[in-house]
Amino acid sequence: MADKAQRVRGTQDIFGEEAARFESVVAAFDRVRRLYGFRTVHVPMFEFTEIFARSIGETTDVVSKEMYTFEDRGGESITLRPEFTAGISRAYLSNGWQQHAPLKLAAWGAAFRYERPQKGRYRQFHQLDAEIVGAAEPASDVEIIAFAHQLLSELGLGDKVVLQLNTVGDAETRTAWREALITYFSKVKGDLSAESQERLEKNPLRILDSKDERDKAFVADAPKIDAYLTAEAGGFFDKVQAGLTASGVPFVRTETLVRGLDYYRHTAFEFVTTYLGAQGTVLGGGRYDGLIEALGGAPTPAVGWAAGIERLSMLIEAPAAETVNVAVIPMGEAAEAAAMNVLGQLRASGIAAEQAWRGNMKKRMAKADAAGARFAVILGDDELAAGEATVKDLKSGEQKRVALSDLTNALK
């Protein structure tokens, strides 16, 4: 065991400016989800392992390499959630939420993946998540992307991200395209990276995701999905693009964008940035019409996205430091007792206040100033005898006596 207490690799302690950035992202998410009529949902932090294996896909890296899975005392295989969509889909089924469809849901919280920690990536990380379940219309794809676009704009990231958009078609399209990719990549299999050779057997669309330089040249010339789109799939994608244009959401068509998970259909999208070093995704998602059926439910259309809070936090401007409005400075035992009452009244009326506990008057005033307080409320024997407090405006330096009974009104 280590000589001193240490956090587990890939975890983080969030405090100070980092905490302020984190909270700014969550606050913006909550504000925008209200504008779009998304309802908050909270789902368990862990599920039966089968929920993630069946939904995310056995052949994905998440399931095969990255999940935190353990056997509980009842002998059940349990997994800490690596993402939100599977758990929300399970909740939709097990709680009979079909009666509310289409259902617009928003969630945020911790998720877990055992991967190599790197900039903005942790083994316990945090995600924002938005889903529309039970809507098959292209307009729902436009809605969910517009939500993401407005969130990023409100965070001040509109000029730091680019929306990449593609379609992976319907089931018929995906099958035909998959066969074409297998035929194409099989001819150059020996020149592909070891990971892509493995993907060729299990999930060839994932080769298009490869960041390995050995694969990129082949990916560039790989069959494009447009050649295999059915009329229905092509028409759906046309409506999504037209809707985004009408909504004022700019995008770039990216034919190699497929998303890594098995349950996607039609729309796939990512908001990417180069402001974190190499190009990185800060928000991504798509349509997953096959997921709820894979979990044992009726065929149910759905579309959603997720975003890493840590990555967004790194991109935004640092918010202003939190401050209190009033610092209460008691001098003497009687004043210490009176200060408790004053603090209670101020806070109950919505005024942020704290007490400077120790030191002489000069040190306590310095602490009040460092806390960013606008006013200092000074309580001493003379003030208490008169039923008053001295209120000093720390900005102008002016001070005056105020009756304790009128203190809250005076400070408001």
- The string of pLDDT tens digits covering residues 56-82 is 655 455 665 788 999 999 999 999 999
Task: Report yes or no on 249 lying in a domain.
Answer: yes
Q: Which domain holds residue 340?
A: 326-411
**DSSP symbol at 97:** G
What is the model's pTM? Answer: 0.89
Residues 283 and 331 in one domain: no
Reported as a pLDDT band with limits 50, 70 and 90, residue 118 is confident
Q: What is the pLDDT of residue 259?
A: 66
Is the peptide bond preceding residue 319 cis, with omega within 30 degrees of 0? Answer: no
Q: What tens digit of pLDDT does each residue of 144-190 get?
A: 999 999 999 999 999 999 999 999 999 899 889 989 999 999 999 98
Q: Give the alpha-carbon dihedral of 320, 321, 326, 327, to 10 degrees.
A: -160
Reported as a pLDDT band with limits 50, 70 and 90, residue 350 is very high
With H, G, I as helix, E, B as strand and everything else as coil, classify residue 53: helix
Q: Give the alpha-carbon dihedral of 386, 391, 392, 395, to 10 degrees.
A: -170
Mean pLDDT computed over 346-366: 86
Cα–Cα distances in Å, from 78 out to 68, 75, 87, 288?
8, 9, 13, 24
Residues 157 and 282 in one domain: yes
Residues 73 and 22 in one domain: yes
Contacts of 343 (CB under 8 A, 6+ apart): 328, 353, 354, 355
Task: Report yes or no on 182 lying in a domain.
Answer: no
Q: What tens digit of pLDDT does each residue of 13-57 get?
A: 999 999 999 999 999 999 999 999 999 999 999 999 999 887 665
Residues 293 and 388 in one domain: no
Asked if residues 316 and 157 have their Cβ atoms less than 8 Å apart, the reply is yes
Mean pLDDT computed over 238-255: 97
The count of structural domains within the chain is 2
